[in-house]
Amino acid sequence: MGENFFFVFFRAPGGDSSGIYQWLAGRTGRGVRIGRVVLILSLIGLRELIFNAVSPSLKNGIAAGIGLFIALIGLQQAGVILKDPGTAVKLNPHFASPDLVVFFVGMLTTAVLHARRVRGSILWGIIVATALACLLKVALPQMPAGVSAARDVSESMLSTRFEFAKAFVALPLSLGSNIFENGCRSCAYAADAAVRTVTSFVESAAGVEAGGRTGLTGLVVAVLFLLALFFSPLIAMIGTYPPITAPALTIVGAMMMQNVATIEWKDYTESIPASLIIIGIPLSYSIADGLALGFISYAIIKACSRRHREIGWLTYLLAIVLVLYFVFVRSRMG
């Protein structure tokens, strides 16, 4: 999931499509190797042992932590949350910025429709935010000079980054045989291996709640992704302007936060490690680091509370490995 965020937020928006395809071509070989390793771990049962070693409270803490992380990324990408040297983050006070207007209209539209059980609420929110962005892009330059030249407007992402699509549809660029060959093999290897992972569960939360509970959902999504290649100009227009897509991240993150209700809060040996995961993932800006904080503290708290028999040897082994990683590997990485 860390690589997903890296690709979506740091590689894709800033480069052209050909650069993305070339980058993908160089990564598919690594995907094949990872898929093979994960498949082997699944076949020998090690991944299932690790999964079962994580208590339900920690699993729900992971889901909530990732949800909070996704929501934070959405708010940052939209410009609602800004970096601050004194407090690390702060709220953007410029609510007259068209970026914030587009984001809040999209988010509130999605939230209201979702609360009213309207199917496709996230998609409708994106459509409304896109329409508003297009309207503001046309209308703001026609406003009086004092408005169009205002700092909130002239320095906004709407003015500097958002561009209308030059066409509605277009033939997709050739991805090259390397991507299709290696990419297909990597899906083949990783699909079965990833069935029982926590991230598969949390990433499917929105789809499951919307009614997609069978494998047919994945097939439909795959077909739609292929069709989307022919609408690349329109998708690029929407995807390169974060205030349009950020509401979806915020809402999905909020949906995933409901998992905190099932944490055993009265059992401190469960709730404190789960809380460290929830807090650690967004504050460290790393899912792996947040998980490590929770796993290490979980083993220590259980052992020191004389409840060491409630967890298996694998949990303690994972905690020891993670401690050694932080001490001897991570500390040298700066």
Residues 281 and 239 in one domain: no
Average pLDDT score over residue span 220-231: 84
Average pLDDT score over residue span 15-23: 42
Residues composing the chain: 334
70 touches 209 (CB < 8 A): no
Domain that residue 135 falls in: 2-259
Which of 241, 259, 277 terminates a domain? The answer is 259
Work out the percent of the chain whose per-residue pLDDT is above 90.
38
Residues 122 and 251 in one domain: yes
CA angle 323, 7, 132 (to 5 degrees): 125
Binning pLDDT at 50, 70 and 90, where does residue 177 land? very low
The answer to whether residue 270 scores a pLDDT higher than 90 is yes
Decide which of 180 and 84 is more confident: 84
Residues 72 and 101 in one domain: yes
The answer to whether residue 251 scores a pLDDT higher than 70 is yes
Residues 329 and 197 in one domain: no
Average pLDDT score over residue span 54-66: 91
123 touches 249 (CB < 8 A): no
Q: How many CB atoms lie within 10 A of CB 268?
A: 12
Residues 178 and 302 in one domain: no
Show Cβ contacts of residue 68 under 8 Å, excluding neighbours closer than 6 positions: 253, 256, 257, 278, 281, 282
Element at 296 (helix H, strand E): helix 287-304
Binning pLDDT at 50, 70 and 90, where does residue 275 land? very high
The answer to whether residue 104 scores a pLDDT higher than 60 is yes
The answer to whether residue 159 scores a pLDDT higher than 60 is yes
Rounded CA-CA distance 309/220 in Å is 46
Binning pLDDT at 50, 70 and 90, where does residue 326 land? confident
Say what the pLDDT of residue 174 is.
56
Residues 241 and 285 in one domain: no
Number of domains in the chain: 2
Which of 259, 279, 300 terminates a domain? The answer is 259
Binning pLDDT at 50, 70 and 90, where does residue 262 land? very high
Residues 32 and 152 in one domain: yes
Binning pLDDT at 50, 70 and 90, where does residue 145 land? low
Residues 145 and 254 in one domain: yes
* Phi/psi at 51 (5° precision): -60, -45
Work out the percent of the chain whose per-residue pLDDT is above 70.
72
Residues 44 and 147 in one domain: yes
Least trusted range by pLDDT, from 33-37, 82-86, 290-294, 297-301: 33-37
Say what the pLDDT of residue 14 is.
42
Average pLDDT score over residue span 83-103: 91
Say what the pLDDT of residue 175 is.
52
Least trusted range by pLDDT, from 24-38, 166-180, 214-228: 24-38
Residues 195 and 269 in one domain: no
Say what the pLDDT of residue 330 is.
79
1 touches 199 (CB < 8 A): yes
The answer to whether residue 298 scores a pLDDT higher than 90 is yes
Residues 333 and 189 in one domain: no
Which of 233, 259, 285 terminates a domain? The answer is 259
The answer to whether residue 250 scores a pLDDT higher than 70 is yes
Kindly give the interhelix angle for 313-328 and 287-304, rounded to the nearest 10 degrees.
120
Residues 199 and 236 in one domain: yes
